[in-house]
Amino acid sequence: MNPNQNPHRPPPARTSLPPGKFAKFARPLKPKPDPDPQDTFIAQLVASKALCSIVTIGGQTLVGKIVAHGRYTVTLAAQNGTQPVLVYKSSISTVSPKVAVPAATGATV
């Protein structure tokens, strides 16, 4: 801590620009949002290459390995080696792995 700084006053906010000529135009940095638990879970399934079943809101069950995922979609590779299936996340009711998948915190999901 700077000896000239008041200990009861919070430190100045970090900005996107270094101090200097343009410091008066700098805006405070926005805090990074927490990772989405849904994306974290799907990323764990992709990393572990675990077999899982996806039940859609229409009741159809799809079984395979999730090979990729995006903001709105999940790509599922079937067991029999057919062409991968693109499934919209909005149409997914349940995703359940066939085996326990280690979570990022060390617990099992």
DSSP letter for each residue of 1-34 = --TTS-TTSPPPPPBSS-SSTTGGG--BPPPPPP
At 28, list the tokens.
Answer: 């405070």
- pTM equals 0.62
* Tens-place pLDDT, residues 64-81: 999 999 999 999 998 887
Give 99's pLDDT tier (boundaries 50, 70, 90). Answer: confident
Average pLDDT value for the chain: 80
Nearest-5° Cα angle at 70, 99 to 30: 110
CATH class of 37-97: mainly beta
Pairwise pLDDT comparison (55 vs 18), residue with the higher score: 55
Burial 54-84 (b: 16+ CB within 10 A, else e): beeeeeeebebbbeebeeeebbbbeeeeeee
SS3 category, 36: coil
Across-strand partners of 78?
64
